[in-house]
Structure 1
Amino acid sequence: MKYLHRFSFFILLTLAAAGCHRTPDEMLIRHAIDNAAQAAEQVDASAVVRPLTDDFDGNSGTMTRQDLGNLLRVAKFRGETLHAVLGAVDVQPRGERYVASFTVTLTSGGKLFPSQLGVFQVETAWRRDGHDWRCYSATWTQQL
């Protein structure tokens, strides 16, 4: 009986510790990037822009959150396909914010994107917004 009480206590302690487990911020950011890449392949504008802040700045003002959403809406309307293959995502803390860097290879089966496709080096900046991490800035350069 004494062992049963100890075992029960151990089980309760383990469950309590598991309930306190919090997903690390780096993993949340990687998950958001993966979700956005999957949404891009579905040409789902709403899901792609979901992790972006309202004041998102793409490539020093060349693309806003709204611009990106509109581009994907046009692509969806035209029946375009898009494929996004992510390289390894490196997430580094910068004070209370994070920077995530990765490569992405974009290909398409349509005509809207051809000059804008290839391999890109991407650097994204993230800040906490409530319980979520949201991307407020991104820069990308075509590698190939």
Structure 2
Amino acid sequence: MPRIRQNLLLLMFLASFVLALSGCHRVPDEQRIRQAIDAAAQGTGQVDASALTAVLTDDFDGNGGTMGRKDLGNLLRLAKLRGETVHVVMGPVEMEPRGDRYIARFTVTLGSGGKLFPAELGVFKVETAWRREGRDWHCYTATWTQQL
């Protein structure tokens, strides 16, 4: 009887292992980039500099050299110190593969309950470029233009 019980337990273990493996699948690159964009938007809305900068490369180039990774992080840190709020509303994200990289385009509306950002707020058209670093996707360049 103990041998049958051992075999039954082994069979149950193998069956659960196979089921677990079948549930594991690779998340498509586009979905991972969308998740990173969402994380950056949520981090910005929470005035969390580290959440925004986590998706940017160390050599991030914003708007042709006008804003780097550190600059964006410091802007949010200053907003947090001043008790500012930032409201982020994302538009749909269009993805375009370019070899082993991706371009993501979207609109974002930024609002604030404070005085740090008034001239810089509104609706923006954004184009971002993404590359894989290790297992994660990071934005290495972005351009944005104010629409309204």
Shared fold (TM-score, shorter chain, > 0.5): yes
Task: Specify every segment of 5 or more residues in structure 2 that has no aligned partner in the other structure, as ranges.
Answer: 1-11
Match 2:21 to one of 2, 12, 16: 16
- Is 1:114 the equivalent of 2:130? no
After the TM superposition, list the runs of 4 or more consecutive aligned residues in structure 1 that deviate by more than 6 angstroms: 8-12
2:52 is aligned to 48
- Classify the secondary structure of the residue corresponding to 1:79: coil
Q: TM-score, normalised by structure 2?
A: 0.87
Structure 1 residue 84: Cα displacement: 0.5
The within-5 A match list for 1:34-113 is 34-113=38-117
- The letter of the residue matching 2:97 is P
Tell me by how many angstroms 1:10 deviates.
9.0
Percent of pairs identical after alignment? 65
Deviation at 1:91, TM superposition (A): 1.3
CA shift, 1:85, in A, is 0.3
Aligned length: 136
State the superposition RMSD in angstroms.
1.6
Q: Which has the larger radius of gyration?
A: 2
**Which residue identity does 1:113 align to in structure 2?**
F
Please, which runs of 5 or more residues in structure 1 have no aligned partner? 1-7
1:15 to 1:117, Cα distance in 2 relative to 1, 3 A? same
